[in-house]
Structure 1
Amino acid sequence: MSRSVLTRAALYVALAVATLVLLVPTFVRPAPAFWPWHQPIRLGLDLQGGTHLLYGVEVDQAIDNTVDRQMQELERVLREEQIGAASVERKGRTIHLQLANKDKRAQVEALVKDRFANLVAVPEADTEASDLAYTLEPREVQRLRDNVQEQALKIIRNRIDQFGVAEPTVQAQGSDEIVVQLPGIQDPQRAKELIGRTALLEFKLVARGPEAGTLDHPGPNVQVLPAKSEKGRRADRILVERRTLMTGDVLTDASVGQGGVSEGMVVNFVLDARGTKEFGEITSANVGRQLAIVLDGVVESAPVIEDPITGGRGLIRGHFDFTEAQDLANVLRNGALPAPLKLIEERTVGPSLGQDSIRRGVLSFVVGSALVILFMLVYYRGGGAIADGALLLNVLFLVGAFAAFGFTLSLPGIAGIVLTIGMAVDANVLILERIREELRLGKTARAAIEAGYERAWYAIRDSNVTTFCSGLILFQFGSGPVRG
């Protein structure tokens, strides 16, 4: 026997042994402590049960939110520079400024150019000298479109990691969709609330005086927001000023704390240096007024500012139970989502259905493989036995790759393995039939084998290339289990 044949045989034996080592934790649980590999094959939701969620990222809303933040920051800077503005409002994605003093137009233009690099002037016909209009620079809009999905992915991953789910899957799909798979989660409601909550924290002043208007007819620059009652329900409404004094992007930490007897749990938060300075200025300038703490458009609490708060710490009272407070602290720690999420698809698979899928999938695999192996042995005899050995090694290495690289085995994956067996047998049938034809022509066994492999190669190549192209099309345009 030649050295090359011995080398290849030794290589296959080594690979087979390594694969068996990788597969032991899948079939022997728990694996022995001395075993070098302890990671079993990961099972998909359709095999072990859990929740599958598909979210759409509302990218356009993220751009609108950025325009709003730029408008609020511009309004704040104008106040600091003591440049009076009769009005600052947004129409579409354009910020319109009407200056109280048109002589300060050049000063405002220079200020925007220096401190708001992402804004560009919008030329408008028939405008007065005191009117200015700005919008986001096109490159900034494109950057937001490119980055929003990635930012949302990171935030969702952080939230789920602290949620305590074992081996979750969070991945992008297309340019504006995110797939979340939570193995073992049978009640997805809490997970959906945790993932889908935007967690936009805002601090606004409660409106007062004649300018506030009424709940049915709020005054200018005043809005009506739902507010939690003393029992923690959204039963009340409250008038707050539209202007946002500060947002939650200045938070550095959030934790659960114990409130008073009738308050339930509270959420303590810590601000960074900029937030500490801004919060101190806000509370110093508004002693005696109510400060509304708004989370995702709902007023969680509206305490009265009794003294300036300059320590960079505060708390949110909302009559939370421990789970609600824990989830709120989680989303505040990990930041607000850059854009709202829209739930597109939801699937929940129970553990009993998953076990039934495993049993049926394994049964189909065993029956299909046994029939193929038996047919090859009966019809091709010695050649069939060699083909069956190669087929078993093919399946062994394929399943071992799932364990080695952490791939997820799903029901479509089992179907794909069965299909792989069929394609491998198809190639062997082509080769063996070619060898038979060459033997009928009177060639020796060695010459017939060489000719059989050589002439069958072109048909095998074409069929595999066609299958590969079909797989690419399914991966590109398919979704859910089809794509998997």
Structure 2
Amino acid sequence: MSDFPRWKYALVALAMLFGIIYALPNVFVPLPSVQVTATHNAAPIDQSMQKKVADALVAQHIPALDVSVQGDHLLATFANTDVQKSGADAIKATLGDGYSVAFNLKSVVPSWLRAIGARSMPLGLDLQGGVHFLMQVDQSDVVDKQENSYADDIRGLLRLKNIHYESVARSAVKGQGIAVILRSANDRSTASDAIANEYTDLNVANGPSTQDRFVLNVVVKPEKLLDLSRSTITQNLSTLRNRINVLGVSEPLIQQQGESRIVVELAGVQDPAEAKALIGGTATLQYRPGIGFAGDAAAVDAARTGNIPPEANLYYMHDNHAPVLVSKQIIATGNELVNANSTLDTQSGTPAVSVNLNATGAKKMLDFTTANVGKPMAVVYVERVTETKLVDGKEVRTPRITESVINDARIDGVFSNQFQTTGLGTMEEAHNLANLLKGGALAAPVDIVEERVIGASLGQDNIDKGFKAVLLGLALVLAAAAIYYKLFGLVADIALFFNLVILVAVMSLIGVTLTMPGVAGIVLTLGMAIDANVLICERVREELRNGSTPHAAIRAGYEKAWATILDANVTHLIAALALTTMGTGAIKGFGVTLMIGILTSLFTSVMLTHAFTALIHGHRKLKTLSV
């Protein structure tokens, strides 16, 4: 008689029920949709907005499955991606720049499933389509910024120590660091000791000198440059994650490749131009003292003659290109922003960006505005643009930095951490700048050196092929088991089917992103899972040949096969764990699927088959077994 306990029957039943319920959401295919969100100071999303969008779609003969208000946003659902694109264009034209219009996928999973946390697996780039970017980090820009910063610090130190010097500037020869020119050998010796003691990350050495020019060469130590290089990559990774959060992309892949490259993959993004502009954008703001106002006599004369004061830069206004002189001193930069939102200026009604500074930036802004009420302050817009040209059939990328002044106004009162930046042409321009500032400034500029777009049709083709591979593999294994092991093979087939169901349920519950390597992991799991049942069936056959009764053969078959099954799966589990913890991207996705599959296989191949076998044979007098 069977000694399979009732609590195990209950456990198997609960596991099967869990698998069916939590795998079920994957049957419901999400629908292409367009999400509309109100930007700052725009009219809120309400029923009138819903009617306006619905009427616009009808007027342009664009069929929408549904247009509904969901919380603070509006969602328009379409039958396919072609209609979705047309719908998005129509909605943008209807609502204008005051609203963010983005592509999305609407879940059609029933509410009762969502209420218990059941959801479908998110699809990766290779299954859903999207964009792939490979970006090169400009490490030389980091060195330039660091050397400029040290040059400013050294000037301040020499003034503090009352050491007379002629100039402190970066060397004309790249890689030679900073050249400090002093007036006497004594001044050079004193300056060398002061710099070496104050800045331990610098190497200080005497340079070639003349009778009245004594040179110090100051170079950043190699280990400091290495630390800068590593921290630059880390900061850029963090900034890119912040920027991509603005896009609302599910499960983005952002990782370092080699010493100076970053890979970004965004699944489901159907507008690569928007993503490219946001993640590759290096636009930021600098708040600087103004030497004068735009278009005044001094600025016009400097633009005409080229005679620019040594403490100033000559820029041009962003809108009317009027010349303006701006101090080289920087009060605050985009690095010191906490938050930024597009808005309308309360006085002029023109587009603006509402800015919040951190404590460091707020203190500097407070000190400056307190001492300079009535004087000008300029907002410099700095943007890095990469120009691509074909030279001898090869792409040559040349980075170019453009700087312009978007606002040059008189300081009317004291302020610190919160204020507005005006001078922007449209609300869309203000919105884009706010997004860049909100995501943070990149520690070093990045150039997109490779861009690939995987269309939704290719993703669907991958899904179809993967689905066919799973079905074909499953069908062949089921047929082989049923033919060779008869009734025990059919029981193994049931267990294999529920192994797939429970595996999909677990992956859906914990939010594993399904990719093509994940599909490969599922196919491999199904192939490996039958091994345990082969061991059990062969053990049962062996016991029958040795003269054991059918019930004794079943009991001994499961008991003796368990140790071998456990050993084999533990070694597989170790390999899967190594792939998961040490691998990245596709390798990690394969490892995660394989690891979950091994655990579910252990349960279904042993306990679930034992439960079904006991249920079939447990209360019958048997002369033989169909195995």
TM-score (norm 2): 0.61
Aligned pairs for 1:32-111 (under 5 A) are 32-33=111-112, 35-59=115-139, 61-76=141-156, 78=158, 84-91=164-171, 92=175, 94-100=177-183, 103-105=186-188, 108=191
2:27 corresponds to:
27
- Superposed displacement of residue 414, structure 1: 1.7
- Superposed displacement of residue 220, structure 1: 8.2
Residue from 439, 453, 458 that aligns with 1:348:
453
Q: 1:150 to 1:173 in 2, by over 3 A?
A: same
Give the 3-state SS of the residue equivalent to 2:275 in structure 1.
helix
Q: 1:378 to 1:329 in 2, by over 3 A?
A: same
Residue from 240, 245, 253 that aligns with 2:330:
245
1:380 corresponds to:
485
Aligned pairs for 1:174-323 (under 5 A) are 174=257, 176-203=260-287, 228=318, 230=320, 243-248=328-333, 249-258=335-344, 265-271=351-357, 272-277=361-366, 279-280=368-369, 292-296=380-384, 297-301=401-405, 306=410, 310-312=414-416, 316=421, 319-323=424-428
Contact 1:293–1:316 (8 Å) recurs in 2: no
Q: 1:74 to 1:367 in 2, by over 3 A?
A: same
Q: 1:402 to 1:482 in 2, by over 3 A?
A: closer
Give the 3-state SS of the residue equivalent to 1:407 in structure 2.
coil
Instruction: Select between 191-200 and 348-357 the one with higher mean Cα deviation.
Output: 348-357
Counterpart check, 1:394 vs 2:460: no
Structure 2: state its 5+ residue gaps: 29-107, 292-297, 385-400, 593-627
- Superposed displacement of residue 81, structure 1: 6.8
Distance across 2 between alignment mates of 1:222 and 1:120: 28
Give the 3-state SS of the residue equivalent to 2:583 in structure 1.
helix
Aligned pairs for 1:324-473 (under 5 A) are 324-429=429-534, 432=537, 436=541, 446=552, 449=557, 453=561, 460=568, 464=572, 468=576
Contact 2:243–2:435 (8 Å) recurs in 1: yes
- What do residues 109-149 of structure 1 show as CA deviations (whole Å, max 9, x unaligned)? 565467x5453232346557843333335554444344333
Distance across 2 between alignment mates of 1:8 and 1:316: 67
Distance across 2 between alignment mates of 1:44 and 1:2: 46
Contact 1:301–1:317 (8 Å) recurs in 2: no
Instruction: Select between 416-425 and 72-81 the one with higher mean Cα deviation.
Output: 72-81
- What do residues 321-348 of structure 1 show as CA deviations (whole Å, max 9, x unaligned)? 3222112122223431112223244333
Contact 1:118–1:136 (8 Å) recurs in 2: no
Residue from 204, 217, 221 that aligns with 1:122:
204
Q: 1:277 to 1:88 in 2, by over 3 A?
A: farther
- Superposed displacement of residue 482, structure 1: 8.3
Give the 3-state SS of the residue equivalent to 1:51 in structure 2.
strand
Higher relative contact order (CA 8 A, sep 6+): 1
- Superposed displacement of residue 444, structure 1: 6.3
Letter in 1 for 2:352: V
Instruction: Select between 120-129 and 37-46 the one with higher mean Cα deviation.
Output: 120-129
Letter in 1 for 2:557: I
Contact 1:267–1:329 (8 Å) recurs in 2: yes
1:233 corresponds to:
none
Contact 2:520–2:590 (8 Å) recurs in 1: no
Q: 1:318 to 1:304 in 2, by over 3 A?
A: closer
- Superposed displacement of residue 408, structure 1: 0.2
Contact 1:54–1:180 (8 Å) recurs in 2: yes
Contact 1:153–1:172 (8 Å) recurs in 2: yes
Q: 1:208 to 1:63 in 2, by over 3 A?
A: same
- What do residues 195-251 of structure 1 show as CA deviations (whole Å, max 9, x unaligned)? 122234335668969988967x99989888787453xxxxx7979789453441344
Contact 2:26–2:119 (8 Å) recurs in 1: yes
Contact 1:438–1:451 (8 Å) recurs in 2: no
- Superposed displacement of residue 189, structure 1: 1.1
Give the 3-state SS of the residue equivalent to 1:172 in structure 2.
strand
- Superposed displacement of residue 395, structure 1: 1.6
Distance across 1 between alignment mates of 2:14 and 2:2: 19
Distance across 2 between alignment mates of 1:362 and 1:250: 49
Instruction: Select between 143-152 and 391-400 the one with higher mean Cα deviation.
Output: 143-152
Structure 1: state its 5+ residue gaps: 231-235
2:234 corresponds to:
150
Letter in 2 for 1:153: L
Q: 1:306 to 1:220 in 2, by over 3 A?
A: closer
Contact 1:49–1:183 (8 Å) recurs in 2: yes
- What do residues 385-404 of structure 1 show as CA deviations (whole Å, max 9, x unaligned)? 23223322322232122112
Letter in 2 for 1:399: V
Instruction: Select between 241-250 and 375-384 the one with higher mean Cα deviation.
Output: 241-250
Give the 3-state SS of the residue equivalent to 2:470 in structure 1.
helix
Distance across 1 between alignment mates of 2:557 and 2:21: 35
Give the 3-state SS of the residue equivalent to 1:134 in structure 2.
strand
Give the 3-state SS of the residue equivalent to 1:88 in structure 2.
strand
Contact 2:23–2:120 (8 Å) recurs in 1: yes
Matched-pair identity in %: 28
The alignment covers a number of residue pairs equal to: 475
Distance across 1 between alignment mates of 2:372 and 2:157: 18
Q: 1:483 to 1:214 in 2, by over 3 A?
A: farther
Letter in 2 for 1:411: M
Give the 3-state SS of the residue equivalent to 1:266 in structure 2.
strand
